[in-house]
Amino acid sequence: MTVSSKPAINSFTVMNELVFPNDTNPLHNLMGGRLLHLMDIAAAISAQKHSNHIVVTASVDNVSFKHPVKLGDVITIQAKVTRSFHTSMEIRIEVFSENIQPNSRIKSNEAYYTFVALDDTGKTTLVPEIIPETEEEKQLYITALSRRELRLILAGKMKPENATQLKALFFPEL
Ligand SMILES: CC(C)(COP(=O)(O)OP(=O)(O)OC[C@H]1O[C@@H](n2cnc3c(N)ncnc32)[C@H](O)[C@@H]1OP(=O)(O)O)[C@@H](O)C(=O)NCCC(=O)NCCS
């Protein structure tokens, strides 16, 4: 059974947080685990907006922390579904931080989360397709297939020989 399609923008989510002392390490930098927690919540809200179902985190792609976020900074987390498959959705997260100074906003990191929609009995359930509208959304929609294959192969959920986009990466002689 197919379900309706929804524009990517409908899943757009923005969360703002002020970094308090109990969020930081002894260097007064935001702890990575605290940021991952906030990113997970933003991604879940985005996936829930798209699917209108309870969602669970299936995986988090590699996250690198490019710039430390300091005590007193404001962090802004933006989340949007890039593509849905059957029961799963890929969500792109971007994190920005800024201090009290003007024009201090920088992008501190980004990541892709995968969420799966569940029905009221806890079983996986189909989600609407995504309609990418902007050039960036279209690009992210296309490249989502390769990212999905890579993460499923790394998770042992897909055999490299079954990949379509990434087969050449694993079997260059073919
Ligand atoms: C995520 C979960 C629902 C998947 O269940 P499952 O029995 O493996 O289901 P399936 O194999 O049918 O996969 C369902 C979907 O999840 C996707 N999926 C499963 N494991 C995945 C992974 N490691 N990374 C990305 N996607 C994954 C599948 O590709 C599939 O997507 P599709 O339907 O869009 O094609 C299940 O593993 C689960 O409940 N995990 C715990 C979730 C949780 O508690 N998260 C919080 C951690 S504290």
Q: How far is the CA of 116 from the centre of ligand 1 (A)?
A: 6
Q: What are the residues facing 6 on neighbouring strands? A: 130
Q: Is 57 in the pocket of ligand 1 (CB under 6 A)?
A: yes
Q: Give me the pLDDT at residue 169, please.
A: 73
Q: Is 51 in the pocket of ligand 1 (CB under 6 A)?
A: no
Q: Give me the pLDDT at residue 64, please.
A: 85
Count CA atoms closer than 13 A to 168's CA, side-chain side: 2
Ligand 1 atom closest to 148 (CA): 25
Three-state helix/strand/coil letters over 62-126 = CCCCCCCCECCCEEEEEEEEEEECCCEEEEEEEEEEECCCCCCCEEEEEEEEEEEEECCCCCECC
Q: Is 85 in the pocket of ligand 1 (CB under 6 A)?
A: yes
Q: How many angstroms from the chain centroid is the CA of residue 121?
A: 25
Q: Phi and psi (nearest 5°) for 9?
A: -60, -25
Whether residue 148 has pLDDT greater than 60: yes
Query: 5-132 — its CATH code?
Result: 3.10.129.10
* Banded model confidence at residue 174, pLDDT cuts 50, 70, 90: low
Nearest Cα residue to atom 17 of ligand 1? 88
